[in-house]
A and B are shown apart, each in its own frame.
Chain A
Amino acid sequence: MSKQATRTIKVDTLARVEGEGGLYIKLKGDQVQDVKLKIYEPPRFFEALLRGRNFAEAPDITARICGICPVAYQMSAVHAMEDAFGVKVDGQLRALRRLLYCGEWIESHTLHVYMLHAPDFLGYQDVIQLAKDHPAVVQRGLQLKKAGNEIVTLLGGREIHPINVRVGGFYKLPARSELAGLTERLKWARDAALETVRWVAGMPFPDFEQNYTFVALRHPDEYPFNDGRLVSNGGLDIPISEYDANFAEEHVQHSNALHSVLRQHGAYFVGPLARYSLNFDRLSPLAQEAAREAGLAPVCRNPFKSIIVRSVEILYACDEALRIIEQYEPPEKPAIDIHPRAATGYGCTEAPRGILYHRYRLDEEGSILDAKIVPPTSQNQKTIEQDLGQFVPKFLNLPEEDLLWQCEQAVRNYDPCISCATHFLRLEIDRG
Chain B
Amino acid sequence: MSSKVRRKPRIAVFKFASCDGCQLSLLDAEDELLGVAAALDIAYFPEASRAMVKGPYDIGLVEGSITTHHDAERIQEVRRQCKTLIAIGACATAGGIQALRNWKDVDEFIRIVYATPKYINTLKLSTPVAEHVPVDFELRGCPINKHQLIELITATLAGRKPNVPTYSVCVECKRKGNVCIAVAQGVACLGPATQTGCGALCPSFDRGCYGCYGPMESPNTESLSNQFRILGQNNAEITRAFRGFNAWAWQFRKASEESERT
**A residues adjacent to B (C-beta < 8 A):** 13-20, 40-49, 51, 53-54, 57, 60-61, 64-68, 70, 111, 115-116, 125-129, 131, 135, 138-139, 142-143, 145-146, 149, 157-161, 163-164, 166, 171-172, 249, 251, 258, 334, 370, 405, 408, 417, 419, 423-424, 426-429
Contacts and interface: CB of A to CB of B under 8 A. Distances in A.
B230 interface: no
Which of B45, B50, B108, B122 lies at the interface centre, i.e. has the most chain A CB atoms within 10 A of its CB?
A: B50
Contacts of B112: 45, 47-48, 51, 370
Given A15-B46, A161-B142, A171-B206, A43 B28 contact: no
B122 A43 contact: yes
Interface in B8-63: 15-25, 27-28, 30-31, 33-34, 37, 42, 45-52
Contact of B198 (A18, A129, A158): A158
B28 A45 contact: no
Contacts of A126: 42, 45, 48-51
B142 A64 contact: yes
Contacts of A115: 27, 48
A66 B97 CA distance: 12
Contact of B201 (A45, A64, A145, A163): A163
B180 interface: no
Interface in B147-194: none
Contact of A142 (B33, B45, B110): B33
B5 interface: no
Give the contact-size bracket for chain B.
35 or more
A172 B115 contact: no
Contacts of B106: 45
Given A67-B143, A251-B116, A48 B20 contact: no
B245 A64 contact: yes
A427 B119 contact: yes
A70 B110 CA distance: 24
Nearest to B22: A67
Contact of B21 (A67, A145, A426, A428): A67
Given A61-B97, A67-B19, 17 more contacts: A15-B52, A42-B67, A43-B114, A45-B109, A48-B109, A48-B113, A66-B21, A67-B22, A70-B21, A126-B51, A128-B42, A149-B28, A161-B143, A163-B210, A164-B205, A334-B206, A426-B119
Given A42-B71, A44-B17, A68-B21, A427 B240 contact: no
B202 interface: yes
Contact of B98 (A44, A68, A131, A258): A44
Contacts of A40: 70
B207 interface: yes
Contact of B30 (A14, A19, A142): A142
Contacts of A46: 113
A194 to B, nearest CB: 20
A130 to B, nearest CB: 10
Contacts of A166: 207
Given A13-B52, A67-B19, A145-B30, A171 B205 contact: yes
Contact of A43 (B16, B47, B113): B113
Interface of B: 15-25, 27-28, 30-31, 33-34, 37, 42, 45-52, 67-68, 70-71, 96-98, 100-101, 104, 106, 108-110, 112-116, 119-122, 126, 142-143, 198, 201-202, 204-207, 210, 212, 237, 240, 245
A368 to B, nearest CB: 11
Contacts of B120: 43, 426-427
Query: Nearest 6 CB-CB pairs, A to B?
Result: A67-B21, A126-B49, A15-B50, A125-B51, A48-B109, A48-B112
A428 B21 CA distance: 24
Which of A44, A126, A370, A419 lies at the interface centre, i.e. has the most chain B CB atoms within 10 A of its CB?
A: A44
Which of A48, A68, A111 lies at the interface centre, i.e. has the most chain B CB atoms within 10 A of its CB?
A: A48
A17 B24 CA distance: 11
B34 A419 contact: no
A403 B142 CA distance: 39
Contacts of A139: 34
B18 A419 contact: yes
Nearest to A50: B100
Nearest to B237: A54
A162 B24 CA distance: 14
A128 B108 contact: no
A159 B28 contact: yes
B21 A49 contact: no
12 contacts: A17-B47, A18-B24, A19-B20, A44-B98, A44-B126, A45-B110, A160-B24, A163-B205, A249-B115, A251-B115, A426-B116, A427-B119
Contact of A18 (B17, B47, B201): B47
Which of A14, A139, A163 lies at the interface centre, i.e. has the most chain B CB atoms within 10 A of its CB?
A: A163
Nearest to B16: A42
A49 B27 contact: no
B49 A161 contact: no
